[in-house]
Amino acid sequence: MTHPAPSSPSLVPRKNPLLRTPQMNLPPEGRSRIAHGLTEAAAIGAGLRLQCCADCGTTQYPPQTTCVKCLSAKVRWTRQSGLGELLTSTTLEHSNHLYFKERLPWRIGSVRLDNGPCVIAFLTDSVTETSPRVRLSLRLDRAGQAVVIAQPESEQDMHPQEKLQKETGCSPDHRKVLVTDGKSVVGQALVRSLLKAGADIVWVGHAEPWKPLPGVAEIAQLPRVEMVPLDVTDPISVTRLGAEIGHKVDILINNAEVHRTHGISSRRGTEIARAEMEINYLGLLRLAQAFGPALQGRAADGSAHAVAWVNMLSVFALSNFPAQGTYSASKAAALSLAQCLRSDMLSHGIRVLNVFPGPIDDEWNQNLPPPKLAPASLADATVKALIHGVEDLFPGDVAQEWLARWRDNPKALERELAQGAL
């Protein structure tokens, strides 16, 4: 099947099959435990967070266990505007570190934030000394560590061809993507969002092609879409597709799931729970075994390297929602496995994005009251998270509130859910 070309010429050069694929060299690692407060903020796309002393109000950088001014231990991570002035800048033309050596020249600068601290940051090409006002943000580098990036104050997003965007983001633009389930409304919304973002090819898995499911025929007719047989419950199906296209996939989005309602006591037997685990948990495991090594092997494939793996989980994975008890348990198991997958992928520079939506406006949540997340909104948020290179996404009002309650007091959340609250 031939595919129409994207709206603009491909910016990703073809790989020369005669050249050996190099091994991935990662940025410098080794942050202190306290510095992982920066990593946490970068992982969820929370902007710039710095430590602020609760006693004297001092904002400090780099992170310390106590306040540098009054030695108080009451330092809290606080969201910052990130606005400041560029004091000095320089361009590295030489580096002994292999990661930077392969990517020279590299711009860095010193920025004084409006609230006091001076920060060393990576500079985008759009930052100039004639316009010294900048905005700082946190991004994850390819080693999964937080780095500070400076952009012009008026610039909201980095240019798609900006070096720092390519090194810290996972944009689907001109990339080949596999969406594992095209029969669900979420899968179909993901396909449309990926095409809108400039994906080169979107492979769409379908486990039961003989069923005339709503929306599948329309998805199959879209340009740059190819339907592929994929049943995540069948090891042969997963292995066969991995062998066929695994070496081409740049981004894999696993959205295949079984979603059923009811708790433990309101439904007898284990058949539904087995089906949920078979797809929601073991399906992810089969995909990881079939496609993981191929993505890892292409992590250093120049500008055409593999970049990301996306898992559609649920905010119910954090704390069990009794009304959907076995579904919540299967997603909790998948979350644990996804963390293992992230560990495997980290040394290869592959970003693993876990998505934790609240109730989605689909057939399985008809009886739940609003607010519910529209599939198109979930898909757009997922693509945006890929572009920004985050690790954990909590889209929608319910997911954000659930996350805040879970972080504040997990036991209170458990009791509230047991009493029937969402």
- In the sheet that 308-312 helps form, which strands lie side by side, from edge to edge? 225-229, 201-206, 176-179, 251-254, 308-312, 351-355, 392-393
**Are 160 and 189 part of one and the same domain?**
no
Query: Where is the domain boundary, 139, 166, 193?
Result: 166
Chain centroid, CA 300 distance in Å: 19
Q: What average pLDDT is seen over the chain?
A: 91
- What's the pLDDT tens digit per position in 110-168? 999 999 899 999 999 999 888 889 999 999 999 999 999 999 999 988 998 899 999 99
The reported pLDDT for the residue numbered 1 is 42
Q: Residue 329 and residue 323: Cα distance in Å, rounded? A: 12
Within a domain: residue 18?
Answer: no
Q: What is the DSSP string of 125-165?
A: TT-BTTB-EEEEEEEE-TTS-EEEEEEETT--S--TT-HHH
The CATH number linked to 204 is 3.40.50.720
**Are 183 and 296 part of one and the same domain?**
yes
**Are 145 and 52 part of one and the same domain?**
yes
The reported pLDDT for the residue numbered 72 is 95
The reported pLDDT for the residue numbered 6 is 47
**Are 130 and 153 part of one and the same domain?**
yes
**Are 311 and 220 part of one and the same domain?**
yes
Within a domain: residue 44?
Answer: yes
Within a domain: residue 171?
Answer: no
* Number of structural domains the chain divides into: 2
- What's the pLDDT tens digit per position in 287-340? 999 999 999 988 887 667 889 999 999 999 999 999 889 999 999 999 999 999
**Are 273 and 407 part of one and the same domain?**
yes
Q: What is the DSSP string of 75-111?
A: EEEEEE--EEEEEEEEEE---SSHHHHTT-SEEEEEE
Within a domain: residue 41?
Answer: yes
Question: Which residue type occupies 9?
Answer: P
Q: What's the token pair of residue 280?
A: 């929601």
Within a domain: residue 129?
Answer: yes
**Are 133 and 180 part of one and the same domain?**
no
- What's the pLDDT tens digit per position in 178-235? 999 999 999 999 999 999 999 999 999 998 887 888 889 999 999 999 999 999 999 9
Q: What's the token pair of residue 43?
A: 């992982």
**Are 271 and 367 part of one and the same domain?**
yes
**Are 249 and 197 part of one and the same domain?**
yes
Within a domain: residue 89?
Answer: yes
**Are 146 and 181 part of one and the same domain?**
no
Within a domain: residue 135?
Answer: yes
The reported pLDDT for the residue numbered 10 is 43
Long-range contacts of 404-408 (CB under 8 A, 24+ apart): 406/318, 406/319
Query: Where is the domain boundary, 166, 194, 224?
Result: 166
Please check whether residue 410 is in contact with residue 319, taking contact to mean a CB–CB distance below 8 angstroms: yes
392 pLDDT above the threshold of 60: yes
30 pLDDT above the threshold of 90: no
Q: Could you tell me which residues come within 8 angstroms of residue 57 by beta carbon, excluding any fewer than 6 positions away?
A: none
The reported pLDDT for the residue numbered 11 is 47
The percent of residues in the chain predicted with pLDDT above 90, rounded, is 74
Query: Where is the domain boundary, 130, 147, 166?
Result: 166
Q: Which residue would you say has higher pLDDT here, 380 or 8? A: 380
**Are 84 and 209 part of one and the same domain?**
no
Range of the domain at 108: 36-166
Within a domain: residue 20?
Answer: no
**Are 196 and 56 part of one and the same domain?**
no
